[in-house]
């Protein structure tokens, strides 16, 4: 990634995520770890990014069995370009790509009113296990979109690693 695009992404993320806890976006284009994949929409010129979605390749564990997932992160649209369907358009492409990669689920941490119309449902049985060997799993509320014939488990689900 060249520096102009890096700066364009930082500019977009810092314009969209403005809570004090989001200050990291003033200097970096990711929350906790660099995602493996990004989709974005340019505005007037090449380095004018107006919408963005990042995807982390992750796995969840259920009763000792691993399932590949796409962790969706840094979903945003510049305030001047909202209400044009950019998030839904980006997610449609991202979901097709995830299915082609054999991922069972798309997982994100977001609001029901934003992501429900793209097929996401709220789950409360996801537990994040940080990389610290002494840490206990932390229950979190997330949104999930299943692919193909996969059903989100009713039992406890473990997400090892950093939150995206």
- The CATH number assigned to the domain holding 146 equals 3.40.630.30
Q: What is the pLDDT of residues 62-75, one digit of tens each?
A: 999 999 999 999 99
Domain containing residue 86: 3-160
Structurally, the chain folds into a number of domains equal to: 1
Low-confidence ranges of the chain (pLDDT < 50): none
- CB within 8 Å of 8: residues ≥ 6 apart: 47, 48, 49
Position 132 scores a pLDDT of: 76
DSSP structural state of residue 45: S
How far apart CA 158 and CA 149 sit, in angstroms, is 20
3-class secondary structure, 68: strand
Position 82 scores a pLDDT of: 96
Position 47 scores a pLDDT of: 79
How far apart CA 98 and CA 108 sit, in angstroms, is 13
């Amino acid at each position: 990634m060249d520096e102009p695009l890096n700066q364009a992404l930082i500019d977009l993320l810092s314009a969209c995520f403005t809570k004090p806890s989001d200050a990291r976006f003033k200097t970096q284009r990711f929350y906790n770890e660099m995602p493996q994949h990004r989709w974005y929409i340019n505005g007037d010129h090449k380095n004018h990014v107006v919408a963005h979605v990042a995807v982390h390749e992750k796995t969840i564990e259920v009763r000792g069995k691993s399932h590949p997932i796409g962790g969706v992160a840094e979903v945003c649209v510049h305030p001047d370009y909202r209400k044009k369907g950019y998030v839904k358009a980006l997610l449609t492409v991202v979901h097709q790509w995830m299915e082609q990669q054999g991922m069972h689920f798309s997982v994100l941490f977001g609001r029901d009113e934003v992501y429900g119309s793209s097929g996401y449902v709220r789950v409360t049985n996801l537990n994040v296990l940080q990389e610290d060997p002494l840490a206990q799993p932390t229950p979190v509320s997330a949104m999930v979109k299943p692919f193909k014939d996969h059903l989100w488990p009713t039992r406890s689900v473990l997400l090892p690693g950093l939150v995206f």
